[in-house]
Amino acid sequence: MARRGTSSPEDRALSLDNEKILFGLVVSVANGDYDEVCIETDSIEAKDCIEGLLCGTGRAKRTVPWSAEQCRLYRSGYEIYLQGSSSYFFINPMPRPELFEKRELEDYLAEFKQA
């Protein structure tokens, strides 16, 4: 995720089961604190929760890929949501529970450093 005013993205996995983390995420999305976020989930329920947060609290709208191809965190095939005029959220439509194991997550995050 890339917060507004920062030059490089943060690598972070957030547990939506933790109420404090979920609250912080809700407030950050509501405040429009992010430039770009690439989201992976471990279940359809988690994906639905994120979509609800983005479209409800965040007032984001689904958009077309060509509008976001210049983004650092853009991933082909991901669903793209635009909040306001410049905050992009990329959601993998397929849950990937294996990424939430430490080794797999490290390999996945390395993909962004190579780009």
- Its pTM stands at 0.83
SS3 content of the chain, % helix, strand, coil (to 5): 40, 20, 40
Report how far residue 81's alpha carbon sits from residue 22's, in angstroms, rounded to the nearest whole number.
19
pLDDT of residue 101: 77
Report how far residue 109's alpha carbon sits from residue 55's, in angstroms, rounded to the nearest whole number.
26
Cα-based distances in Å from 104 to 21, 61, 100 = 22, 30, 7
Is residue 65 within 8 Å of residue 76, measured between CB atoms? Answer: yes
Which of 47, 53, 39 shows the shortest CA–CA distance to 91?
39
* Structure tokens given for 44: 């359809």
Going residue by residue through the chain (115 aa), what tens digit of pLDDT does each one get? 555 555 565 667 777 788 998 898 899 898 888 899 999 999 999 899 899 999 999 999 999 888 898 998 999 999 999 999 889 999 999 999 888 877 777 888 788 776 5
Is residue 95 within 8 Å of residue 41, measured between CB atoms? Answer: yes
